[in-house]
Chains A and B, each alone.
Chain A
Amino acid sequence: MSELTATPPQNEADPAAPAGSRRLRPPVLVWISGAVAAAILVLVTVGVWIAPYDPMHQDLMNTAAGPGNGHLLGTDSLGRDVLALLMSGAHNAVIGPLVIALGAVLFGTTLGMMAGWYGGLLDTLLCRWADLMYALPGLLVVVVVVGVIDGGYWLAVCVLLVLSLPTAFRMTRSVAAAQARLPYVEAARTLGLPAGRIIFRHILPNIMPTVLATFLLDFVGALIGLSGLSFLGLGAPAGTPDWGSLLQDGQSMLTVNPWVSLAPGLLLVLTATSITLLGDWMYDRFTEEGAHR
């Protein structure tokens, strides 16, 4: 797809790039990030089965114990194996954010392309709406809605999805508007192609790198948001393993086995950082805006 962009993607070792520019970031870091992301995806799909223990099994001889006794990261207050909880908790922690990022990109991109293409009143209205959403303290909104309705995981996913729309909308709107002025779009228009076809068949492939980068960044936001809700007891259903709730459970046992809290926390940061680095790299490498940064 990238070969269709107006300027060809530039080489990593571009001598003209100033020292320390983002494009000179060693690809090693990107490779590591990719590996981390792949490992997390494996956990999401088969984590429950490859975990060393049944995550809900309570080893009552070893409750709230530090690492050892066959438990690599120790056990929580109920004697459940922390490593097993982490591995099977990846599912709850990641599936919701995936849905959120997919939905936000699907709807946000469509709205963004329409606003960028048609302009005018539609554009103004959508932009005002995005401004309004931006001014909201998002997590507080989610806490109020989810907490009051007592709706649980999927309601939280829906509300977070709606709150993530403006980011995808704004990112696509500006690039779509820029593409709409280019000669190939004019050519398509001269041929008398319908607007829908021009938008989805001609413009969309050209802005795909931006869309993918937005997807990754939305995912990170959703991952942090949803885990945060679980941390507050409003996300993942009680009794199912989840990183956010594990973090919260472990806070009271920081003195006996800090890993209950620290391990899911570090895993969250690791996942978020890796995906952010991948998204940043993709944006810098494959989009016009990024190439000039």
Chain B
Amino acid sequence: MIAVFVLKRIGAGVVLLLVLSFLVFSLLSLSPGTPLQALLGTRTASPELIDSLNVRYHLNDPFVVQYGRWLGDVVRLDLGSSISVQGGTAVGDILGERLALTAELALYALLLVLTVGLPLGMAAGIRRGRRLDRAVSLGATMAISAPAFVMAIVLLYIFGVALKWFPVYGTGTGFTERVSHLTLPAVTLATVLSAVLIRQTRAAMMNVMSQDYVAFARLRGLSPRRILVRYALRNASLPVITSLGLILVSLLSSTLFIEQVFSLPGIGTLLLQAVTNTDVPVVQGTVLILGAAVILINLAVDLLSLVVDPRVRLVAKEGA
């Protein structure tokens, strides 16, 4: 039953990706800069050169034929090759390289969120109204109002330029150097993500702790630890998991700014480069990958809530 549910969702995701890629393709045809200009670069536009480029990249074909050809290649796992960002390199290779860096950054940030942000939010919710709660809530409100790029610049200035604790740009080689290069970006990303998560976790925890079953558990004299772990945490985790999906999706947006500030050649920087240079295959490939990521994140969140909440399981079985 669950398998049917997953298959249905994946099918819907594929359809969504098709629509998305077609929309981006149409958008690119509206773009003022033609791929031909990008291909020519600084070379003189002799008629022979233009002809050969047109033939090689099929630029004279009608729009739908071009889209069809691109789609046919994608099915065979060929995303084409870059025009202007890294001329000639296969888009798949570029994506793999850039994606690896962004994934490292995201994992590092998630680790920080789960070990620092999440516990803080829970503690604030449990100790509602105490000093810790006030401090955490105020911090979260401020962090929510601070855009990722401002936070990145401020952290870069304090810890990179003024204190010189961390390098200010680049990726570094070797594990320790990589970690020290990625620390500032990851902290920035983690702060942005934690701000939302802390508010959600705090609210969920507060809600659960005021439920009757918690009061009864207390009356029965159960240990606070048992109440917290067996009763509160499990019930509070559902809204948190739901918000986790939104947070992971917003991670994709934030990483664009953070990579830009710290000059990291990740997937966000790639998208920006491709978009400003009208590199059609790279834009298409990046959008496809990011779209797939969004769909997978949402699917993973739904599956996770199936695991945690039997009620959702029931609905999913009926729906499938």
Chain A interface (Cβ < 8 Å from any Cβ of B): 18-21, 134-140, 143-145, 147-150, 220, 224, 227-228, 231-233, 244, 247, 250-251, 254-255, 258, 261-262, 265-266, 268-269, 272-273, 276-277
Contact = CB atoms under 8 A, between A and B. Distances in A.
A258 B161 contact: yes
| The 10 A-B residue pairs with the shortest CB-CB distance in the complex, in nearest-first order | A20-B129, A147-B275, A265-B150, A139-B253, A272-B145, A273-B145, A224-B147, A137-B252, A19-B129, A137-B253
State the main secondary structure of chain A at its contact with B: helix
Nearest to B245: A135
A144 B27 contact: yes
Given A143-B271, A261-B153, A149 B31 contact: yes
A140 B253 contact: yes
Contacts of B257: 228, 231-232
Interface string B246-286: 10011011001100110000000001100110100001000
B141 interface: yes
Contacts of A276: 141, 144-145
A271 to B, nearest CB: 9
Nearest to B31: A148
B116 to A, nearest CB: 21
A137 B290 contact: yes
B142 interface: yes
B149 A269 contact: no
Contacts of A134: 246
A72 B307 CA distance: 59
A258 B157 contact: yes
A147 B250 contact: no
B311 interface: no
A232 B272 contact: yes
Contact of B294 (A20, A135, A247): A135
Interface string B156-173: 110001000000100000
B153 A262 contact: yes
Contacts of A143: 256, 271-272, 275
B90 interface: no
Contact of B161 (A136, A148, A224, A254): A254
B128 interface: yes
Contacts of A18: 128-129
Contact of A147 (B133, B157, B276): B276
Given A143-B256, A148-B27, A273-B141, A262 B157 contact: yes
Contact of B149 (A147, A149, A220, A247): A247
B185 to A, nearest CB: 14
A231 B149 contact: yes
Given A20-B130, A149-B32, A247-B153, 8 more contacts: A134-B246, A143-B256, A143-B275, A148-B24, A233-B276, A247-B149, A269-B147, A276-B141
B124 to A, nearest CB: 10
11 contacts: A140-B253, A143-B271, A145-B27, A148-B27, A224-B147, A232-B260, A247-B149, A247-B150, A250-B153, A262-B153, A273-B145
